[in-house]
Structure 1
Amino acid sequence: MIKQTELAELGEFKLISRLTKNFSATHKNTVYAIGDDCAVLAKTKQAHTLITTDLLMEGIHFDLMFTPLKHLGYKAVVVNLSDIYAMNGTPEHITVSIAVSAKFTVEALEELYEGIALACKAYSVDLIGGDTSASLTGLAISITAVGTVNPKSITYRNTAKKNDLICVSGDVGAAYAGLQIMQREKTVFQQSKGAQPKLEGYEYSIQRYLKPEARADVIQNLADASIIPTAMIDVSDGVSSELLHICSQSNVGCRIYEERIPIHKNTQKIAQEFEMEAIIPALNGGEDYELLFTIPIEQHEHIKTIPDVHIIGSITEQEQGLYMISRSGSPIAIQAQGWTAFE
């Protein structure tokens, strides 16, 4: 009898690799298929097409006890657009497919689509189609985003080089911190009938979780400064996980520095309340949708002029491994401990 493998034994990315190992591109215009934030299709000499898709499942990716449907619709679009930006591209179109159970009213779905429409307006994206289906288990949302990118400026995960600087936009860990607050208040509400959630003072982190933004501004600022990253990825699963993707696919190592990781004061406050080091959600939290990228060291002075971008380390030889240097100067091995599917 053939041994059956549990999904949790492989995890999301090893599962994808196993399921798709026998597939190869047969069309000449397939520039890049599986393995990055987007697939890349040749279009013209001046523009390639980027395609990405994400599936959000109720109970896995969102909890409707504390996620307003309008926020969910907005977020579902943004997480896809973030993938387009992570390839240094510009999103243009989306399709939206949903599966809904009978517990949802027409008005509830209209609220979901209000959020989708708001995101489309904010990022100048057109909704061009989709599908609807019944569901027995709640709500599922699948969005496909299509964008364009100049072939000369397209940025993959697998092209980081030794001595490149490692940069991250914004701050990291806030979305995870916001989720912890929402889950805590949900528990209090369930255990104490009629208890009202205490959300004052946590607005920043809650906003980062419920209504994230894709960093279109960073992509524009990099273009204005004539900076093309050597590698880039968006922070959906955590800085540690994303760094591992870049380094493993680029066959390099890295050194990042704890003191340089940008952490918002609200994230620090929440981490303290939950008795954990703020660096833990910063490295492993995920859902920040910031951009993590590398640039040639020669661009050091130029990158310092870009608002809200932080240099957190550098790329090394692969043999030197992946380490974070703590505030005390100790090297700590970087491991992917962020969100994983099937666990």
Structure 2
Amino acid sequence: MLENKNTENTSLESLGEFGLIEHLTKNFTLKNESSIKGIGDDAAVLDFKENKAVISTDLLIEGVHFDLSYMPLKHLGYKSVMVNLSDIYAMNAKATQVTVSIAVSNRFPLEALEEFYSGVELAAEIYNVDVVGGDTTSSTKGMLISITAIGESKEEDITYRNGARPNDLLVVSGDLGAAYCGLQVLEREKEVFKVNPNSNPDLSMYTYIVERQLKPEARRDIVELLKTLDVKPTSMIDISDGLSSEILHLCKQSGVGCNLFEDKIPLDPTVIAACEEFNIDSTLVALSGGEDYELLFTIDQKEFLKIKGNPNLTVVGHMTDQNEGAHLISRNNSKIPLTAQGWNSFSND
């Protein structure tokens, strides 16, 4: 993906750090009232007035979090922003600013970074956030990305992980497992390409799951939907590491147990088909696949009628007393303890 048909690539050395920052950020303009000063000074200046600031940051490393053999740089820029905005929306807050820092080796020309920043720019435009700062530096190998997202919310609207209570309903947005299935397709085609560089894969039947891996969307719409429905979640988290890991986070932080019903887990038909093709269990994929960036939250039972029948939301279980533990209720009504099998960046596997 790094090969550019245009051989007239521009070395980063020719611009220098400040010239590079100025070049890559020249198209960013400020859209939010809370953005007083953006790029161009020693620090950004933000003013949230009576609201609380919400801040999250993520580090993405080439070879650990992304593979440039099948991840286009524009998609990577977009996804890097989504990963962080998702954390802000998981606090039931409005995302308003991001900072973008990258370190790259000398194998990356200016044109490659322009592609990456065009993805950042598209994400900022669609989600109405301001890029207000960051840094660029050199790396001895590969690419490292660090993005910080900043948001705002009224104090009473902020939703933490620790507010779930026994008998609260457990709700998830969208469908699960697609990003993991998309990754399996991309990894398979990568192996095929190694053997036959002239192969031209037809991924049309995998469009949905591949897009969920390469270009996920943060669920700002769900935060807005809940406000419209006048529903305040009692706890919330985004699904980055797999459904089971995130449920266990809510249980631990809130001091509750949970019953998750296998037959309620929302799966897209393309995910079910891909799981059959790859001979993997679709429930396991939903529980442990990760990178779905859907929102998982709990609500008081009395709020159920407000969300009932909404195509964006699925009730997948309920919270219990802590001493009952966290369980998956299988399709044959077996009670299986939930374990955190989500993705672990420190695993050697």
Aligned counterpart, 1:318: 322
Structure 1 SS opposite 2:204: coil
Structure 2 SS opposite 1:202: helix
Deviations 1:200-226 (A, max 9, x none): 200000000000001111110100111
Q: Does residue 177 in structure 1 map to residue 181 in structure 2?
A: yes
Q: Does residue 107 in structure 1 map to residue 147 in structure 2?
A: no
Q: Does residue 139 in structure 1 map to residue 135 in structure 2?
A: no
Give the % identical residues. 51
Q: Does residue 281 in structure 1 map to residue 285 in structure 2?
A: yes
Aligned counterpart, 1:242: 246
Amino acid paired to 1:290:
E
Q: Does residue 57 in structure 1 map to residue 61 in structure 2?
A: yes
Structure 2 CA distance for aligned equivalents of residues 244 and 232 of structure 1:
12
Aligned counterpart, 2:95: 91
Q: Which moved more, 1:96-105 or 1:296-305?
A: 296-305
* Number of residue pairs matched by the alignment: 301
Structure 2 CA distance for aligned equivalents of residues 50 and 208 of structure 1:
26
Quote the offset at 1:268 in angstroms. Answer: 0.6
Deviations 1:46-105 (A, max 9, x none): 411000000100000000000000000000001100000000000001110000000101
Structure 1 SS opposite 2:345: coil
Quote the offset at 1:192 in angstroms. Answer: 2.3
Deviations 1:240-276 (A, max 9, x none): 0000100011110000101100001111111001111
Q: Which moved more, 1:168-177 or 1:306-315?
A: 306-315
Superposed structure 1 runs of 4+ greater than 4 Å apart = none
Aligned counterpart, 2:26: none
Amino acid paired to 2:95:
P
Structure 1 CA distance for aligned equivalents of residues 308 and 221 of structure 2:
15
Deviations 1:100-154 (A, max 9, x none): 0001010010000000000000000000110000001110110001100111111
Amino acid paired to 1:176:
Y
Match of 1:272 among 254, 272, 276: 276
| Correspondence list, 1:1-343, <5 A | 46-343=50-347
Amino acid paired to 1:119:
A
5+ residue gaps, structure 2: 1-46
Structure 1 CA distance for aligned equivalents of residues 77 and 307 of structure 2:
33
Structure 2 CA distance for aligned equivalents of residues 108 and 142 of structure 1:
17
Q: TM-score, normalised by structure 1?
A: 0.86
Q: TM-score, normalised by structure 2?
A: 0.85
Amino acid paired to 1:256:
L
Structure 2 SS opposite 1:327: coil
Q: Which moved more, 1:204-213 or 1:184-193?
A: 184-193
Structure 2 CA distance for aligned equivalents of residues 193 and 147 of structure 1:
45
Structure 1 CA distance for aligned equivalents of residues 78 and 52 of structure 2:
26
Structure 2 CA distance for aligned equivalents of residues 262 and 76 of structure 1:
25
Structure 2 SS opposite 1:152: helix
Structure 2 CA distance for aligned equivalents of residues 190 and 338 of structure 1:
28
Q: For the pair shown, which has the larger CA radius of gyration, 1 or 2?
A: 2
Structure 1 CA distance for aligned equivalents of residues 72 and 154 of structure 2:
37
Cα RMSD after superposing both structures? 1.2
Contact 1:222–1:306 (CA under 8 A) maintained in structure 2? no
Q: Which moved more, 1:190-199 or 1:147-156?
A: 190-199
Quote the offset at 1:164 in angstroms. Answer: 0.2
Amino acid paired to 1:229:
P
Structure 1 CA distance for aligned equivalents of residues 311 and 289 of structure 2:
23
